[in-house]
């Protein structure tokens, strides 16, 4: 368990008869940057809230940095920095006052780092929070989280409202000051290109259930788009096939593994396989969570399996 920063087992959260989190078992390795992905309402924020003690699980258990969620909450919070989805802070306080307010809670707080990040993000430190733009509010939130010197950073939509330059700067800081020091990051974001840039592990959930959890490199090396031409190919229902899209005589298959074997199978059926190409994180995400369409088979939601696992 020492090499696991976040561990959950069959975590369930029900809000007035709606299952926000459904038997979720996550494993976030220490020192990793874990991209926690899913559609709106998939259960990401609910899971994060449970981990930080803001919500109580209906069932299941979890540990963060080896401390039990719900029992050792102060110990967890001392070591965890959190950037929330709503980025709400005290409107009448300036960024400087917010820094002064926050630093007292954290023994590892670094004033030097706070000054550096304020300069990097170009934050007007003497202006009240309420008078800042959405992007600058996000920057203040990031500054408060990054300067804590926390062992674990939980970032829920950390780039909301940031311009591309600020996003780039944030990702640079994340890579250099956080990942470089061996700290763990759980990043939940819809900006898949940002996640792809920094994450080394991916957890994908939908309707509160884990669809996929693996190293990003493994996912990218195993998911393939197989394009084939032939008749009645869309009926193929191999368990390796995540989705099938038909366009005239052409069919495009997203295959989770053993793409070459699947292509050989298609050839045996008389099809002409025109291309077997790798997929980006965005394409994999879309294929995994997209609702079933007319010519889609083998919905991945029914197969909560890992492509590969390092645990």
CB of 216 to other proteins, least distance (A): 27
**Residue closer to other proteins (CB basis): 55 or 229:** 55
Does position 49 interact with other proteins (CB under 8 A)? The reply is: yes
Token pair for 13: 């959260």
Of 21, 64, 65, 89, which one interacts with other proteins (CB under 8 A)? 89
Of 59, 68, 105, 231, which one interacts with other proteins (CB under 8 A)? 105
Segment contacting other proteins (CB under 8 A): 86-94, 175-183, 231-239, 292-300? 86-94
Q: Nearest 5°: phi and psi at 241?
A: -85, 125
CB of 285 to other proteins, least distance (A): 27
Q: Nearest 5°: phi and psi at 147?
A: -80, -5
User: How far is residue 290's CA from residue 160's CA, in Å, rounded to a whole number?
Assistant: 23
Does position 131 interact with other proteins (CB under 8 A)? The reply is: no
Does position 54 interact with other proteins (CB under 8 A)? The reply is: yes
Q: What is the largest CA-CA distance in the chain?
A: 70
Does position 90 interact with other proteins (CB under 8 A)? The reply is: yes
Q: What is the DSSP letter of 205?
A: E
Helix (H, G, I), strand (E, B) or coil at 134: helix
CB of 155 to other proteins, least distance (A): 13
Does position 160 interact with other proteins (CB under 8 A)? The reply is: no
Does position 18 interact with other proteins (CB under 8 A)? The reply is: no
- What residue has token string 């640079």? 172
Helix runs in 43-85, H state only: 44-51, 73-79
Does position 70 interact with other proteins (CB under 8 A)? The reply is: no
Of 41, 70, 91, 270, which one interacts with other proteins (CB under 8 A)? 91
Segment contacting other proteins (CB under 8 A): 54-62, 115-123, 191-199, 266-274? 54-62
Does position 14 interact with other proteins (CB under 8 A)? The reply is: no
- What residue has token string 């550096």? 116
CB of 2 to other proteins, least distance (A): 22
Say how many residues make up the chain.
311
Residue 78, CA distances (Å) to 52, 54, 74, 105, 193 in order: 11, 15, 6, 8, 30
Q: What is the DSSP letter of 129?
A: G
User: How far is residue 24's CA from residue 21's CA, in Å, rounded to a whole number?
Assistant: 6
Contact residues for other proteins (CB under 8 A)? 49, 52-56, 74-75, 77-78, 80, 82, 84, 86, 88-93, 100-102, 104-106
């Amino acid at each position: 368990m020492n090499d696991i920063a976040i561990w959950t087992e069959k975590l369930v959260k029900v809000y007035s008869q709606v299952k926000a989190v459904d038997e979720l078992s996550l494993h976030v390795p220490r020192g990793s940057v874990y991209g926690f992905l899913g559609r709106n309402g998939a259960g990401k924020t609910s899971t994060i809230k449970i981990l930080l003690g803001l919500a109580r699980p209906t069932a299941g258990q979890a540990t963060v940095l080896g401390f039990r969620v719900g029992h050792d909450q102060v110990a967890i919070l001392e070591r965890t920095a959190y950037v929330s989805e709503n980025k709400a802070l005290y409107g009448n306080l300036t960024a400087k006052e917010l820094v002064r307010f926050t630093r007292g809670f954290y023994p590892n707080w670094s004033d030097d780092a706070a000054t550096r990040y304020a300069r990097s993000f170009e934050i007007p430190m003497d202006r009240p929070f309420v008078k800042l733009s959405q992007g600058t509010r996000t920057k203040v939130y990031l500054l408060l989280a990054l300067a804590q010197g926390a062992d674990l950073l939980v970032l829920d939509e950390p780039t909301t409202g940031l311009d591309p330059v600020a996003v780039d700067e944030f990702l640079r800081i994340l890579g250099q000051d956080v990942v470089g020091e061996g700290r763990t990051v759980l990043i939940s974001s819809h900006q898949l290109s940002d996640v792809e840039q920094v994450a080394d592990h991916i957890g994908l959930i939908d309707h509160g259930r884990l669809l996929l959890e693996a190293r990003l490199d493994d996912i990218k090396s195993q998911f393939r788009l197989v394009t084939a031409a032939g008749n009645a190919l869309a009926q193929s229902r191999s368990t390796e096939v995540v989705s099938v899209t038909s366009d005239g005589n052409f069919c495009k298959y997203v295959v989770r593994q053993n793409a070459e074997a699947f292509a050989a199978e298609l050839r045996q059926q008389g099809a002409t396989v025109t291309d077997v190409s790798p997929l980006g994180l965005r394409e994999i995400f879309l294929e995994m969570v997209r609702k079933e369409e007319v010519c889609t088979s083998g919905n991945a939601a029914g197969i909560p399996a890992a492509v590969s696992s390092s645990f």
